[in-house]
Amino acid sequence: MAMKELNIDLTGELEDGISVFALKGTLGIEGADGLSQLFNACLKEGHTRLVLNFKEVDFISSAAMGVLLSSVGDFRKKNGDIVLINLPNRVKKVFKSLDVMDYFRIFNNEEDAVKALRDGLPEELVAEEEEEELYMRENISIYLNVMTNILQSISDFRPLNETIELALNTLKDQLSIEDLLFIPISAYLKGIVEHISAGEGYLSSLNTKEMENISKLSLLKKSVIEVSELGEDYENEYLCLLKVDCEIIIPIISNRKLDAILLLGRRELGAEYKANDIAMLDTISRLIALAIRLDSFKAEADSTETKEKLAELNAELERRVQELETLYIATRELSSSIELTEILRKFLIITVGQLGTDRAIIYLIKKDEGKFVYKNHRGDISEELRNMTFKEDSHFVKALLKETDLIKIEEARSLFSPKQIELLRRDKIDLIVGIKFKKKLLGFVFIGEKVTGKDYSEDEANMIFSLSLQLGINISNSELFDELREAFNGTIRALIFSLEARDPFTRGHSENVTRLALRLGENIGLGKEAMKNLLIGSILHDIGKIGVSEYVLKKMGSYTREEEKEMQKHVTLGYNLLKKVKLPQKVLDIVRYHHERVDGKGYPDGLKGDEIPIEAKIVSICNSYSSMISKRRHRDALPKSKALEVLINEKGKQFDPELVDKFVKMISEDNENIE
How does DSSP assign 387-453, residue by residue? T--EETTSHHHHHHHH-SS-EEGGG-GGGS-HHHHHHHHHTTEEEEEEEEETTEEEEEEEEEPBTT-
Q: pLDDT grade, residue 491 (50/70/90)?
A: low
Tell me the pLDDT tens digit for each residue of 407-434. 888 888 888 888 888 899 999 999 988 8
Tell me the pLDDT tens digit for each residue of 227-267. 887 777 788 888 888 888 899 999 988 767 888 999 999 88
> What is the arithmetic mean of pLDDT over 275-298?
74
> What is the arithmetic mean of pLDDT over 259-288?
79
As a whole number of Å, the end-to-end CA separation of the chain is 62
Residue 139: its pLDDT value, please? Answer: 30
Q: pLDDT grade, residue 650 (50/70/90)?
A: very high
Fold match, 142-331 / 355-458+470-480: yes
Residue 263: its pLDDT value, please? Answer: 93
Residue 673: its pLDDT value, please? Answer: 42
Selection from 7-16, 177-186, 486-495 with the highest mean pLDDT: 177-186
User: Which has the higher per-residue pLDDT, 666 or 222?
Assistant: 666
Tell me the pLDDT tens digit for each residue of 160-194. 888 888 888 888 887 888 999 999 988 888 877 78
Give the strands of the sheet with 440-448, arranged side by side: 390-391, 371-378, 360-366, 440-448, 429-437, 407-408
User: Which has the higher per-residue pLDDT, 306 or 124?
Assistant: 306
Tell me the pLDDT tens digit for each residue of 442-458. 999 999 998 888 888 87
Q: How far is CA 50 from CA 95, 369, 379, 567, in A?
A: 19, 47, 21, 66
Question: Contact, 13 vs 51, CB < 8 A?
Answer: no
Tell me the pLDDT tens digit for each residue of 533-563. 998 899 889 888 888 887 887 777 778 888 8
* Helices 614-628, 528-539: inter-axial angle, 10-degree rounding: 40
With a cut of 50, say whether residue 122 has pLDDT above it: no
Tell me the pLDDT tens digit for each residue of 583-629. 789 999 999 999 999 999 999 999 999 999 999 999 999 999 998 98
- Pick one of 3.40.190.10, 3.40.50.620, 3.40.50.2300, 3.30.450.40 as the CATH number of 355-458+470-480: 3.30.450.40
Q: What percent of the chain has pLDDT over 90?
A: 18
> What is the arithmetic mean of pLDDT over 557-585?
85
Torsion of CA 297, 303, 309, 312, to 10 degrees: 120
User: Which has the higher per-residue pLDDT, 340 or 149?
Assistant: 340
Residue 415: its pLDDT value, please? Answer: 86
With a cut of 70, say whether residue 285 has pLDDT above it: yes
> What is the arithmetic mean of pLDDT over 520-544?
89
With a cut of 90, say whether residue 137 has pLDDT above it: no
Residue 154: its pLDDT value, please? Answer: 67
- How far apart CA 85 and CA 51 sit, in angstroms, is 7
Residue 519: its pLDDT value, please? Answer: 93
CA angle 205, 256, 264 (to 5 degrees): 30
With a cut of 80, say whether residue 124 has pLDDT above it: no
State whether the Cα torsion 171-226-439-257 is positive or negative.
positive
Cis amide bond preceding 604, omega within 30: yes
Q: pLDDT grade, residue 212 (50/70/90)?
A: confident
DSSP string, 436-477: EETTEEEEEEEEEPBTT-PPPPHHHHHHHHHHHHHHHHHHHH
Torsion of CA 168, 173, 179, 182, to 10 degrees: 0
Tell me the pLDDT tens digit for each residue of 44-93. 877 888 999 998 888 777 667 767 777 787 787 777 888 899 888 778 87
With a cut of 90, say whether residue 509 has pLDDT above it: no
The arrangement of secondary structure in 142-331, i.e. its CATH architecture, is 2-Layer Sandwich (3.30)
Chain-centre distance for alpha carbon 131 = 31
With a cut of 50, say whether residue 134 has pLDDT above it: no
User: Which has the higher per-residue pLDDT, 599 or 284?
Assistant: 599
Residue 126: its pLDDT value, please? Answer: 28
With a cut of 80, say whether residue 357 has pLDDT above it: yes
With a cut of 80, say whether residue 492 has pLDDT above it: no
Residue-range domain boundaries for the chain: 7-119, 142-331, 355-458+470-480, 503-668
Residue 402: its pLDDT value, please? Answer: 77
Q: What percent of the chain has pLDDT over 70?
A: 79
- Pick one of 1.10.3210.10, 3.40.1350.10, 2.60.40.2220, 3.30.300.160 as the CATH number of 503-668: 1.10.3210.10
Q: Looking at domain 7-119, does it have CATH number 3.30.750.24?
A: yes
Q: pLDDT grade, residue 508 (50/70/90)?
A: confident
User: Which has the higher per-residue pLDDT, 570 or 28?
Assistant: 570
Tell me the pLDDT tens digit for each residue of 287-327. 788 788 777 765 555 445 555 665 666 666 666 666 666 66
DSSP string, 213-266: HHHHHHHHH-S-EEGGG--GGGHHHHHHHHHTT--EEEEEEETTEEEEEEEE-P
SS3 543: helix
Q: pLDDT grade, residue 674 (50/70/90)?
A: very low
With a cut of 80, say whether residue 366 has pLDDT above it: yes
> What is the arithmetic mean of pLDDT over 274-293?
75
